[in-house]
Amino acid sequence: MCEINSHGGNVVVKKILELCLKNGATLAEPGEFTKRAFLNGRIDLLQAESVIDVINAKSEKEAKTGIKQLEGFLSQKINEIKKEIMDVMVNIEVTIDYPEYDTPDVTKKELSDMLDSVEEKLEKLEKSFDNGKIIKEGIKTVIIGRPNAGKSSLLNAILKEDRAIVTQYEGTTRDTIEEFVTVNGIPLKLIDTAGIRDAKDEVEKIGIEKSKELVKEADLIIAIFDSSEDLTKEDLEILDLIKNKKTIIILNKSDLKQKIDEKNEKLTKVSSDIIKISALNKTGIEKIYDKITELFNLNEINLDQDIVITNLRHKNLISKAIESVKKAKETMEQDMPLDIIAIFIKDILEDLGNITGEIVTEDIINEIFSKFCLGK
């Protein structure tokens, strides 16, 4: 290792670089340093991947899960599961390879206990991806309502919260803008809010077709109605559109004389989560956050204790490993010979090895590190 200090200025630096390259040095590629740490065995693939997660984190929760993974908590969990399998597998191998030796036979009970325990642990990890996805991507939320119901006012009330951190980027669907907001610790991905905020006419032009598309994509609908007026035909159309979705109904303009309330059957038919607010006076907004927290069990995500899967690659491999566990169990139930069951058990080990990168292919490694930026 050598470190070169030089005078500043582009020419000198460029000359030094040229000389180094001419004498056999190569330029670092994106993710080069993390990749080397991985290839030299200093960190495993899970930890390497978490470096990107930490860099790209949009919320504190996301950064926290990334850091936990970087510290090796998920790797440790996977290795624990692997060890549990290996302990039984070793005995199976001996029994298969050296039947003449007097080794203690692996009992069916031992094997099925191990498979049950492994399955339970893997399923817990798989399930944590629901939360992991929310932490990483936010709750995909669409604010819907007829013109003048108060969409922009509500949005502004949300975005003006002290703790709201907003990152804006192009949506996955054509022509939409997504906004990532962490408000009161809740990660929300608001879809198409630019249309609401900047170009009022645009919203009115969005029309029912586009709304349908947005509603279909959303994890959460915030449907806003003007409670100082009776429900209009347009309101009813909106209610029809969202009837099968996770919806919070907002009755806005609670400061005015009220025409509709929480007991309105047309509303209660669609959702029992109805909240009265005044977007203008910013009253009742907290109740929306409480409701979202409740609907998505956000209080149950305990980042200090639980291990949360946030990466789709890991989730898919865990699902695959669960499939292999199920197949191994089936073969056991069918009284198949030990060496057949062993094949499926080896599959489980292989899937888990792929997660930590022990037996991962070069293609996958290259793909993972191509997502890095230079200098990392």
Q: Which of 103, 112, 148, 316 binds ligand GDP (CB under 6 A)?
A: 148
CB 288 to ligand GDP: min, Å: 13
According to the binding rule CB under 6 A, does residue 157 interact with ligand GDP? Answer: no
CB 217 to ligand GDP: min, Å: 20
Spell out, one character per residue from 248 to 267, where the chain touches ligand GDP: x when CB under 6 A holds, - when not. Answer: ----xx-xx-----------
Alpha-carbon separation of residue 336 from 108, 111, 125, 264, 323 (angstroms): 11, 13, 29, 61, 18
According to the binding rule CB under 6 A, does residue 142 interact with ligand GDP? Answer: no
- In one-letter notation, the amino acid at residue 89 is M
Spell out, one character per residue from 271 to 310, where the chain touches ligand GDP: x when CB under 6 A holds, - when not. Answer: -------xxx------------------------------
Of 278 and 310, which CB lies nearer to ligand GDP in the complex structure?
278
According to the binding rule CB under 6 A, does residue 151 interact with ligand GDP? Answer: yes
Residues within window 19-48 making contact with ligand GDP, judged by CB under 6 A: none
CB 176 to ligand GDP: min, Å: 17
What is the C-alpha separation between 283 and 260, in angstroms, rounded? 18
Residues within window 163-222 making contact with ligand GDP, judged by CB under 6 A: 196
According to the binding rule CB under 6 A, does residue 159 interact with ligand GDP? Answer: no
Of 122 and 221, which CB lies nearer to ligand GDP in the complex structure?
221
**CB atoms closer than 10 angstroms to residue 116:** 12
Backbone phi, psi, residue 225, to 5°: -125, 150
Q: Which of 108, 147, 326, 364 binds ligand GDP (CB under 6 A)?
A: 147
Of 44 and 226, which CB lies nearer to ligand GDP in the complex structure?
226
What is the C-alpha separation between 275 and 293, in angstroms, rounded? 14
Question: Where does residue 158 fall: left (phi above 0), alpha (psi -120 to 50 degrees), or beta otherwise?
Answer: alpha
What is the C-alpha separation between 343 and 364, in angstroms, rounded? 24
- In one-letter notation, the amino acid at residue 197 is R
Question: Where does residue 41 fall: left (phi above 0), alpha (psi -120 to 50 degrees), or beta otherwise?
Answer: left
| CA nearest neighbour of 338 among 121, 81, 88 | 88
Q: Which residues contribute to the site for ligand GDP (CB under 6 A)? A: 145, 147-153, 196, 252-253, 255-256, 278-280
